[in-house]
Chain A
């Protein structure tokens, strides 16, 4: 009996793994992502419920009269039970109707829509440029390990990693916009509806700030991964075969150093989601981050909720994408453990 059932097991295992194992991981991660976002939405909604008094009086503050308070309570559905309020909000969110701004009365999606594009441009440009520079410098430092160049780059990276965005931004403004040279505008204001790439000089300083903040981290990871790869047996083998240094670096070491670096690229994009807040504010760049800061100043709760949910969704998506790409890039971890 036992002998009969025993061979059946591997066959069953083979059948379930016929769908590529990556897909299983993907769907599991996606499921967790959806659950996480659901919990985030509860948290974001609950946050407005713990207000002393209620959201309406917080918005109106000193201008609260009983009539205005009552009108606003009706507008915000505050007279209904919390669960019903949450349901209204959540279904609105999912059907593309995240409510109306308490300050301007415009719909939240129209206020936020253009900003999403502007921020996406900023994040993509900074992410791509920063990653390329970081990877290139990391390879350079690893290839010339312990040279003066390596030491200078490593120490600089250590120092710059720790700098807050607004410090980097102010330094750039001092050098390139206001005090020493006057090459670029110190603020990047442009009206809604205008594409941010219509005047590239407006993008230079915000993108440069973000690039400077993310390069050191990418550099350190890339340098470490590359040193690891360069010390491996197969690289030694390739060198002993008499391959050129360049070929060894790019075709033998680099592909093996990429997997850990993909994690870093993911982390960079995650970081950028928070980093844009301060940078957009410094340069008056009309993106999500500036929108969030303005909304927090005005206590415009529907706008705050929507932007926070958007950023959280971005976080979850980037996390999943990073894991999947780095799984796909490292065959050893991709195979089922058998």
Chain B
């Protein structure tokens, strides 16, 4: 009795360790490739700027400290923005909300999508059909348009944008997860778990989900990139964080009339957003290669379907 209990504890601990080891191993392999290292380096740098930037900003982001579109000078290294605020301070202060929102939206979207897809694949039959038809409806909107529809109703609220992006991710994640899970649900160990009377939720969580680790890692990376694109895009259109709060997306919009006088008001946020999305995409590509075991040859054939599958949105 005691020994079986101990055995179970040991087994579950071992399983947990194995699960952790898998995604750590994939990530480790990815980061050791040139692409992975470059991607991680870029993402790390941008995250660092966004995270400790607010503490380093020389001026309060909302204060009018110089002339509108002032040229760069010693006291204002990136010059002034459309209202005469310090571009450097606003740049340092304007990234952390974007990163935080994108991260939450991604986790939420991938979490819900994965649960959705696994449930559909595991249940099969009518449930599968119903769940996947629901996916088609949300997929009938471009992601940005879906977010705009929600924002037009309730106004540009932070939680609403995060939720809208998460909802528009979920169906796409569900599709990918379902496709990968269909095969796993047929495996013998899943059958075995069902036969010994394990409840469905537990089978999905303990037997099916751990086998989707690499698929979900790639999805997380992909969706993170798209979250950043959509949230920064909404912000650019003026439906994200409301002024005077600095945000990279809206900075580009408000400073583009002074592009000729002081290009840094546009250039600084453009470069940071570009670096961020290029970084996340490169890292995701490396993770996809590492988890699929491709790339050692230079065989690209498997990848585009995975790393670019969401390009639509």
Contact = CB atoms under 8 A, between A and B. Distances in A.
Interface of A: 32, 35-37, 39-40, 43-44, 47-48, 50-52, 58, 145-146, 154, 158-159, 161-167, 170-171, 173-174, 178-179, 186, 217, 220-221, 223-224, 227-228, 267, 270-271, 273-275, 277-278, 281, 292-293, 295-297, 299, 301, 304, 308, 311-312, 315-316
B153 A51 contact: yes
B233 interface: yes
Interface string B144-161: 110011111110000000
Interface string B53-96: 00000000000000000000000000000000000000000000
Given A220-B304, A274-B142, A274-B313, A158 B148 contact: no
B209 interface: no
A200 to B, nearest CB: 23
Given A163-B278, A164-B236, A293-B237, 6 more contacts: A44-B149, A47-B149, A166-B232, A174-B266, A270-B312, A274-B143
23 contacts: A39-B137, A44-B149, A51-B154, A162-B277, A162-B280, A163-B277, A164-B233, A166-B232, A166-B252, A173-B256, A174-B259, A174-B266, A179-B259, A220-B307, A221-B304, A224-B304, A277-B148, A277-B237, A278-B144, A292-B148, A296-B239, A304-B148, A308-B141
Contacts of A52: 154
B259 A312 contact: no
Nearest to B236: A166
Given A47-B149, A271-B312, A164 B137 contact: no
A126 to B, nearest CB: 14
Interface string B212-238: 000000000000010011001100111
Nearest to B302: A224
B8 interface: no
Contacts of B140: 36-37, 40, 312, 315-316
A129 B23 CA distance: 41
A228 B299 CA distance: 10
B282 A159 contact: yes
B1 interface: no
Contacts of B6: none
A184 to B, nearest CB: 14
For the complex, would chain B's binding face be called helix, strand, loop or mixed by DSSP majority?
helix
B263 A174 contact: yes
Contact of B281 (A39, A162, A292): A162
Given A39-B137, A267-B312, A316-B140, A167 B270 contact: yes
Contacts of A159: 278, 281-282
B5 interface: no
A189 to B, nearest CB: 14
A302 B282 CA distance: 41
B145 A274 contact: yes
B274 A163 contact: yes
Interface in B125-184: 133, 136-137, 139-145, 148-154
B301 interface: yes
A52 B155 CA distance: 11
Contacts of B256: 170, 173
Contacts of B249: 166
Contact of A170 (B270, B303, B311): B270
Interface of B: 35, 133, 136-137, 139-145, 148-154, 225, 228-229, 232-233, 236-239, 249, 252, 256, 259-260, 263, 266-267, 270, 273-274, 277-278, 280-282, 285, 298-305, 307-308, 311-313
A171 B301 CA distance: 31
Residue of B149, B301, B307 contacting most chain A CB atoms (<10 Å): B149
A32 B239 CA distance: 33
B311 A178 contact: no
Contacts of B239: 296
Q: Among B239, B249, B260, B308, which residue has the most Cβ atoms of chain A within 10 A? A: B308
Contacts of B142: 270-271, 273-275, 277, 311, 315
Nearest to A58: B153
Contacts of A39: 137
A217 B308 contact: yes
B267 A36 contact: no
A171 B259 CA distance: 11
B308 to A, nearest CB: 5
B144 A224 contact: no
A316 B238 CA distance: 29
Given A174-B267, A227-B300, A315-B140, A161 B238 contact: no
